[in-house]
Amino acid sequence: MNIRCFLLLASSGVVSGLDNGVVRLPLMGWNTWCAFGPCGTDVCTEQQVLDTITAVSTNGLQSAGYDYITLDDCFAMRRNATTGELYPDTGLFPEGFTNVVKAAHGAGLKIGIYTSAGDYTCKAKRDNCSGACNVGSLGHYEEDAKTFAGWQLDFVKMDWCSASIAKLSCEKQYGEMSTALNATGRAMAFYMSCGGVGRKQKFASKVANIWRVGNDHLDCWDDICSAKRGYTSRSHGTSEVIQYMAGISKFAGPGGWNTPDFLKTGGEGCADRAPGHLCPGQTDEEYRTEFSLWSITNAPLLVSSDVRKLSPLQKDILLNPEVIAVNQDALAKAGDLVGSYACGGSALSSGQVACQMWAKPLVRGWAVALANFGNASASMSLNASLLGVPAKDSISVRDIWARSDKGVHPAQGYTVQVESHATKMFVITEASDSNLVI
């Protein structure tokens, strides 16, 4: 299929995800995974979550659309040996989840937690509790779903730790939990994280609202950074995980969305776990590239950094209304890779050419991202003919990071300089030839 036909076909029909009434547009919110310490440490307390709820509801995030508070593998879940009911570590959450659920709902926010398809969660390997903590949901899907509904949760993420060891089936396990959650009668967004790469998008939209398509996303740009973190597997950096989104927009639609994992905007938490202390693993431009490509591919905007004290960079990126509007456009069409440019003298580990044009159709016009994954500044062209705009026509161009209009240009004639690891993002519409800039 040629590139031009791809987007035209992608916009010709409506793809729908799980029909449980939620996440008709990509979900926006916050997650704990890298917020209160380096990625993978998975720490949180009741007070930290309460403080974050207060911050999100007052610092502009909620007003911008971030309305989900989600807890990852950070509360050392236990199971009552007599009743089989779940409860978090009372040293971390003295009142269970009662206070955080009440606070989130009282602020007009939604809240959710984490479990695993297997016997134990991912953190069980690191916590020495003789198998008593970090329990998963295997064998308890129905009762755990009822417990989550009883806690008045709005979101459940199910991971794949210990499940693969037991030789379980992603399709079977996530299907069973999806059925169990829907049977409760409470609408809960369901996030599927089925381990590794080589995603299962073909069945995911039938059982989940969100499904991860790559490895854990670290606060890194590339494999060099992730190797320094002790990761022996590849493709954990921003420049790599986004490549798994290429060619799969056809699986996304209202109620079901591909995701390359959580955003790390502004930096992961530091080892000292001090409020607002961020330890960025990427540059400012790399964080803008991250947010640009999550937005244009309709990935959920779930931010996993400490937002209790927003940094100027976090404010600049996370609160940009025009970039958010691309992600939340009512047409609900996910964007995709539509063109590549040789630049920077290098290719990505995925084999993709380093300078790329991504695009998505909007209710009015198109959003376009010109991303330079190469190691040198590059001249890149916004070629609207790849979107079906006749070459003889002209386009009106708006730079949505700069929030400035760039005039009217020939459909194949708008060229910009894009710095290494940076992304320029535009909204374009077909225009008359008046005010044409040559």
Which H or E run contains 201?
A: helix 201-207
Taking residues 128-148, report their average pLDDT. Answer: 89
Q: In this predicted structure, what is the pLDDT of residue 322?
A: 98
119 a catalytic residue: no
Residue 142 has pLDDT above 60, yes or no: yes
Least confident of 131-140, 208-217, 369-378: 131-140
Q: In this predicted structure, what is the pLDDT of residue 117?
A: 94
Cα-flanking dihedrals φ and ψ of residue 317, to 5°?
-85, -55
Beta carbons within 8 Å of 49's beta carbon, 6+ residues apart: 32, 69, 71, 100
**Active-site choice (159, 222, 261, 306):** 159
- With cut-offs at 50, 70 and 90, classify the pLDDT of residue 3: very low
In the chain the domains, ranked by start, together with CATH numbers, are 19-327 (3.20.20.70), 336-431 (2.60.40.1180)
DSSP string spanning 327-364?
A: HT-TT----EEEEEE--TT-B-TTS-BSEEEEEEE-SS
What's the rounded Cα separation, in Å, for the pair 159 and 193? 5
What's the rounded Cα separation, in Å, for the pair 282 and 289? 10
Q: In this predicted structure, what is the pLDDT of residue 6?
A: 37
**Active-site choice (216, 261, 329, 336):** 216
159 a catalytic residue: yes
- With cut-offs at 50, 70 and 90, classify the pLDDT of residue 214: confident
Residue 433 has pLDDT above 70, yes or no: no
Mean predicted lDDT score pLDDT of the chain: 89
